[in-house]
Each structure stands twice: as structure tokens, then as C-alpha cells.
Structure 1
Amino acid sequence: MKEKGMIRVTKTKKGHFDAKLDIGGKILPAPFLKQTDDSLNGKECEIVREKGQVKELWIDGTMRYGQRKQQEKTYSLPDSLSIKDTFLPKDTRELDIQDIDNFGLKLNKAARYEKGWRREQADYKFVFHKPKKDTKKENIPGFMIRADFRNLPIEMLAQRNRDAVEKSLSYVETISLHFPGKLAIGLGQHSVYETSLTLHPVYGMPYLPGSSLKGVAANYVIAEYFGGEEKTAYEDDGFVLLFGNQKHKGSVSFFDALPTAHPNVEVDMLTPHYGAYYGKGRAPGDYGKPVPVPFLVVKNTPFQVMIGTKENSIIPDGKWKGKKVLDVAREELVRALMETGIGAKTAIGYGAGEIE
């Protein structure tokens, strides 16, 4: 049930803008409503509360905070989880475990181990997806790993992350980044499978490491402004101030980006056509046999990207002379994520972000 209220924005002694919600004369804190001015002061709004906590905030018919509940997905294949077919301890394999809440544990610790489903893979291997095959010669029921994050308090984790960052630094920029298409992050990391997916070490959900965000921004800047010459970039005072070098630490911190809604993880397919050329050095040709390789992607998921600095100093010289360091970092990071993307397979459209 929605309750009507009003937004109150006041300026603090430090010059920041603090937003609160006035619901029938009762004032509620709204740390999730970040403001750079008082333009929303006096604005009417609607909220949805659960056990006293604000779960949704609507302004002019648009949800500005909160998330719609993830609907239970329908799958064409059964789940890949099979405890008896893992390398878990014997007493664990004898338990009747139907599902594992933490997707990271489910994917990497309870990895299914069985005979390969292709002729060239007659040996046993770890698999999370097997296509269904029903012919006169063979009948393979198939399976695919299911990712369900509905039990994760995504909203609370994102808010806690924001609070921690804002307490640690004086100047912070928050960017709402949405991936309407597919995102393949950590595809080539070490894994028991042929491919991988970057998952949070504690919560088991997909996330964007801060080091990856910094790398994307730095590479974009080097290619865009310095002709792809890293040595030339390190001669620029602004670049060094932003990203650092071997002698000096960069003044801008790039934090891990957590999802702000339940992630959608799906199975995608990579089909190398010239395996013999890459693996055995044979001449490439159209006579090669395509070998499909399943991999996991994140689809249609928003993320909270945060960067910050202790001192938002003015760049003294170089490409961005006279600009504030955090303003430049935000501008170039946004351009990099929108124009080049992040993760693997960006050349064919994967990892392209949109700013909400």
C-alpha cells in the first residue's frame, strides 16, 4: 500500500544536501535519496513501507528507490545441481540437498562432474549445462544451472555499501549503471569449468570489481587522448593524478559495484569454429567442426558504481587542466562504460552500459 508524503531537503553545515521524507508529519530519514541541490524540496511523493522501513519511493509515477520483486523464472531444463555427482565430502553427498542459496557455492563448490556430452569429450569433466538431445540413437535429458537471488537483501547491501564509502571519503560520486543486454565479466578467470563468471566472494552474486572499472576508464583515456601510448599518458599530470603510476598513487578510488536489483544470470553459448587451428596449429578452414562452449552472462541488471576521493583537487596541468579530479574521473568512466563497455566480448555488444 502506497502512502503519500513530501520530500524535505535541507543544506548541512558542510554544504551537503540532506533529504528526508515527511509522511503525515512524521519525518523519516532518506539516505538513499542523494541530492546535489534542493530542487526536490517540497516535492510530493509516494512510499511503500514494510515493517516500518521504506521499500519503495515513487516521484511523479516513477520509482526512484526500491526494486520490484524478482519473479520466479521458468526453465526449459532441470537444475544442474546433483550433490551425489560432486566432489564434496562423502557424508555431504549422501544428504538430500535440493538447492543451495549461495550461487557462488552452488556453481564452484558443488560443481557437477560427469561424462562429457560430446564425442570429442568422452572423459569426465565439470559441467553446469548440458543441452537436451532426443534422437533415435540417444536420449539426453539435459540440464542447466539455475541462479536464484531472491533471498538476498540486495537493497540493504547496496545501501550499506554506499554508507561505508561515504563515511570513508569526503567526496563521492554514485553512478546508476544499467546493462540492458548481456554482460560477460570474468569469462577467462581460473575455474573448474571452461569459462567463469565474477561472483562476490561472500554473497555469491555478480558484481563489477573496482579494479576492472579503473582499468576500463584508464584504457579508454589512453586510447582516446594519448593515441594508445601508455608512456605518453604517464607524462600527463592529470592522468597520474587520476590513476597513479609506479611512484604515485592515484587520488581517485574505484569501488566494487554491487547490483541494485536481483541479477539475472543466464547460460549463453560460445561456438569456436577453428579449434584445430588454435589448439593444434592446423590450417583454418570451413571444414572444421564447431564446438559449442556454454558460459554464464548477466543480463538486464542495474549496478551501483561509486568513485571517491579525499581531496577533490584541481588538476594543475595537462589534458584536463583546471578541472576537478573527481569530475573528470566520473566523466571518463561513464564514457568508457557506454562507448567501449566492460568485460569480455565487448566488440560484439556485450558489456555496454547505460546511465540511468
Structure 2
Amino acid sequence: MTKRISTALTAGLFALAALPAAAQDAGLCGGTAANAQWLGGDEASSDISTTSSYVEQMALVLLRNEYVGLFTVSEAGEYRIEAEGRGGGDTVIDIRDAAGTIVASDDDSGGAGASRAETVLQPGTYCVAMRSFDGTPLTGFVRAGRIDLEPLTDGFGALPPASDGGECDLSSATPLTLGQPVTNAWNQQNTYSLQLDAPTSVTLTAENEDADPILTIFDPAGDWIAENDDFDGLNSRVDLADPLAAGTYCVSLGLYGDESAPITVTAKEYDAAEVQRNLYNRGDASPPLDGSHPVFSLGELETRLREDVNVSGDAVWYSFDIYEGGLVLVEAIAQGQGDPVLVMYDDLGRQVGYNDDSQGSLDSLLTVRVQPGTYLVAVRQLDDSTTGFIRMVFERYVPARP
């Protein structure tokens, strides 16, 4: 298959990003599709339900940006989405539906730093975002196709059976009750059951970054439903927005970390508003400016503004208005402990900038060419367990006039 090359570059100081052609609907996938590329070359060739082979692109990602590929599904079924870096690159992938909800994500299930997600998808349009785990430059392949087609990656053979599509044994499972967390070390308990008495939309989480858990769910017939690794840091989460039928479901844990570390497993009813808030808190989507989510308005950005803010792993949002095209520089400077991350969106929800660790430091710097409009900037700590003061600087530059 011919490999198509796409490039995503983050702008340096007074340098502009070289971006691929935008997708036709920039609002797809919660705005992450603004610069996406069809994996099959065009929309008609990117339906992985009907293509005779997988669809694939080769992408170059620099300076903590990400490559986003688009594909469609016309028939519900099980599909495989993968990414593999060249030269040992460590990839991370997120798969989002058209509304922007993450339906699967993975770090290392492809083996040797490659990413691999096998999941059931309903008809619709999807985005797969590939980035480097540590933010270093990355060249890699992104592939999507039916589960019966040739895989890109070898898979991670050392995972427990549930994490590579094996069976889930309910005979030794610990029951889960909706809304009641259960905590056990993986080497003491790694299989759980969930009894649903009526059709229910469900969210499941597995939390302890020292354990780095992998969460897998099987239906009452023993068929694989969904899997997740590294949704929030090294913690795992699966959101099942479509109601599951009544019955007993099996929840299995794998892990990459400490087998003796306690892992908290929680099953609860799916909350669409919470899912959206999580996107805002991680900076993965921009909130509306209707007051439903906190956004600090800076008004018109005329020259230079400075703000100090105490930031944790949840993003703090700012908005500002631009009435004349030019250049905006945003800095996040840790005042003591901290490793800030910056993300910037336009008023249509399109990501226009992302940065972490600028100029050899843990501080962040964005330089974005802007047109008249309203822009939103999120700042958060890279480490969810860190809270510290960040000094924010917003500067506006106008083009020189002859």
C-alpha cells in the first residue's frame, strides 16, 4: 500500500506551523479534526467497513503536536486502530467519535512502544490522534482496519489474557456495584463482575499510576467489548455511552506496573456532562463561553497582560478577544514546583496551539498567528498530582506597516 506523508509542526517563536489541509468539517471529534487527514486519502476511500484492505498514513509529528487521521465506519463491528513509531518511537493514540468522546486509547499494547486498540465501533466518523509519549519528535504509521486484516503491530504478548483479547473467568470475580469503588492489589484480585438488571450506560475506571492498569470489559457471552490504557495519565477509563443490555459483565485488569500496588476499580452510570467536563479539564476540547464552565475573560488583548494562577492537573481556562490580525505569544512559567502545559483554541473549538517544555525548560510557550475573534487558552500541570503557581503572560504583536 502507498504510504502518504503528513506533517504536523508546532510553531516556534515567530515561526508558523506547517499544517496539512483541514478536514471539511473542522468541528468533528470535538474540534480535533481541524487539521485532520483522511487515512484513505479521501472520505470515500476511508470507510474501513468496506475497504478491501486497511487504510494507513505515515506522519511526522514534532514538538509535542499530534497527527490526526480520519476514517469512517458504515457497519458496526470490531476494528483495529494502531500506530507504530519508526526507530523505536513510543506512540500514544486516542480514538474519538464525531462528538469528540474518546472511545478507546492506548499507549503500549502494540508492543515495543507501539499502540494498538481493538474495539467495537458503531457507524459514524472517527478520529485517531497519534502523539509521542514523551513529546520528542516522532515519525510513525497510523493504520485502521477490520479485525481480520493484517495488523501493523506485533501486540504485547506478555499481558494477562484479558488484555490481549482472551477470556474473562467469572468464577473468581469480585462483584462491582454501581457507584461503589473497590480496591485490591492486582496480584490479589484482577477480575470483577458487573450485574446490570436493566439496560444501562456505564463508565468504568481503574486507578493507580504505580500499577499502570489496563481495563478490559467482556459481555455476558464472553465477547470482548472495550479496552483502555492510559486515559488519564497512567489510569484507565472506558465510557460506554450506548446502554449495555441487562446481564453479567466481566471486567478484567492487566497492568504494566507494580503488581502489589492497590488498584481502585469503579463502575458507575455514564454521565455525558461529566465526560464533557473531563475533556475541558484535560484541555482536550474547549468549553463554551456561556458560563457553564469556568473561563476567565481577559477582554481585549491590546498589548501585554500578566496573570498568576494556582494550577493542578485540571486546566484553568482564559479567553481574550482580538480585533486585528497579528501574533499572540502566551507563556506559562512555573513559580517553583510545576510543569505547565498550554493549549489554545479559536472560538470554533479548533486547536491552534499546544506546547510543553519550551526552550529546554519545563515552562511552556505558544506563538500563534491570529485573526480577529475570541481565543481560549488552557493551562494545567502535566502531572495530575502536582499543584503550584504558574505565571501567565499574554502578549500581542501586530504586523509592521510599510
Bucket of the pairwise TM-score, normalised by the shorter protein = under 0.3
Q: Higher helix fraction: Structure 1 or Structure 2?
A: 1
TM-score (norm 2): 0.25
For the pair shown, which has the larger CA radius of gyration, 1 or 2?
1
Q: Higher strand fraction: Structure 1 or Structure 2?
A: 2
